[in-house]
Amino acid sequence: MLAARAIPGAPTTAAVPAAKPADFKNRRRRTDRPVTAEELAAGLDGRIPRSDLAVAYRNLETLGQLGLVRHVHLGHAPGHYAIVRREPCEYLACERCGVVTEIEPERLDDVRRLIEEEFAFHASFTHFPVGGLCSRCALLVEAFGRRT
């Protein structure tokens, strides 16, 4: 299970070395959650060299074209990028606190089947997550009656 973290601010305007695609690929050992271009440019909390934000976006675009990363939207936040793995994953995102849970796609097969039977629509949750409330936020909403 993965939890979303607050997105750090953009890097300073000082000249910083460009992150190489190998740096992003090696990040697999350093963080296992989808990251934003801003986090990548900021150096993933010192795990890789900092870079210019435009360089980070160009690297992510190239890595996406090569099939090494994929773009995902995790709630009301900037787009994130996840390393493509052998086993795909899908996400649940809490609309109140922003926590993101990574799950195996087969755990949503019954939901997909129901949507297909009811609406003749083939649902996918790889680019956009299933939105809702985590159990903690659901309890708070039930107790206090407000979602935000």
In the chain the domains, ranked by start, together with CATH numbers, are 21-144 (3.30.1490.190)
Residue ranges of the alpha helices (H) in the chain? 21-26, 37-41, 53-65, 109-119, 135-144
pLDDT, tens digit, 9 for 90 and up, residues 90-138: 889 898 888 888 899 999 999 999 999 999 999 988 888 898 999 999 9
Pairing type for strands 69-72 and 90-94 reads unpaired
| Averaged pLDDT, 136-148 | 82
Q: Give the pLDDT of residue 31.
A: 55
Q: What is the pTM of this model?
A: 0.63
> If you average pLDDT over residues 18-38, what whole number do you get?
62
> Alpha-carbon distance 24 to 123, whole Å?
30
Residues in the chain: 148
